[in-house]
A and B are shown apart, each in its own frame.
Chain A
């Protein structure tokens, strides 16, 4: 089955700096890679996703990049704000299935 690894497990940045979270996956059949944000005590919510036919996708201060050859994808948050503080999860999913395999999460703290 799919194995998704995520690094780092914790990340602290100063407000206004950038944050980068990296994930690798093992199954070459995976072709959909979403990122979820989970605030303390809340449910995970989708913030951005990318499909394997795209190398990069941006949405305001958030971007995701994908390298299918190396089987890794990354989340980039620019101009971080205190409200970005949360746990972020990457996930991988094959096209023909709906199973999502999640990384172990990154706890991001943005220091004002």
Chain B
């Protein structure tokens, strides 16, 4: 059971380049989300999805796009990278609430992105 898998683990981009962070989960979770982690800022929600075909914005969505074509995958796209997007990105998934009592978020290992 792999849990939540993120790729790549490390990436260096130049300003203006585009890239996609991949996220896949094998736990049949309805809910998937992307967070960015910056020093002193905690984990901030970028985008989330409550099921295939449904996505919504979180706290800091600007500069990022997402799609959810399958239950398993939730890629995060940076269309034109900026230095302000240098961060560690975490994908996380969980069962939907309140259908289940547990609300535990399962995180991927993180992707460290540097934009020069």
Contacts and interface: CB of A to CB of B under 8 A. Distances in A.
A49 B98 contact: no
Interface string B39-52: 01111110010100
A61 interface: no
B105 A34 contact: yes
Contacts of B94: 98
Contacts of A89: 42-43
B97 A44 contact: no
A93 interface: yes
A25 interface: no
Contacts of A32: 97, 103
Nearest to B97: A98
Interface residues of A, number: 26
Chain B interface extent, by class: 20 to 34
A36 B94 CA distance: 14
A44 B94 CA distance: 14
A73 interface: no
B59 A104 contact: no
Nearest to A49: B103
Contact of A101 (B41, B59, B107): B59
Contact of A102 (B40, B44, B48, B98): B44
23 contacts: A6-B42, A9-B40, A32-B97, A34-B105, A36-B105, A46-B105, A89-B42, A93-B103, A97-B97, A98-B31, A98-B48, A98-B94, A98-B96, A99-B45, A99-B58, A100-B103, A101-B45, A102-B35, A102-B42, A102-B43, A103-B42, A104-B41, A105-B40
Nearest 6 A-B pairs (CB), nearest first?
A104-B42, A43-B107, A98-B31, A102-B43, A102-B42, A46-B104
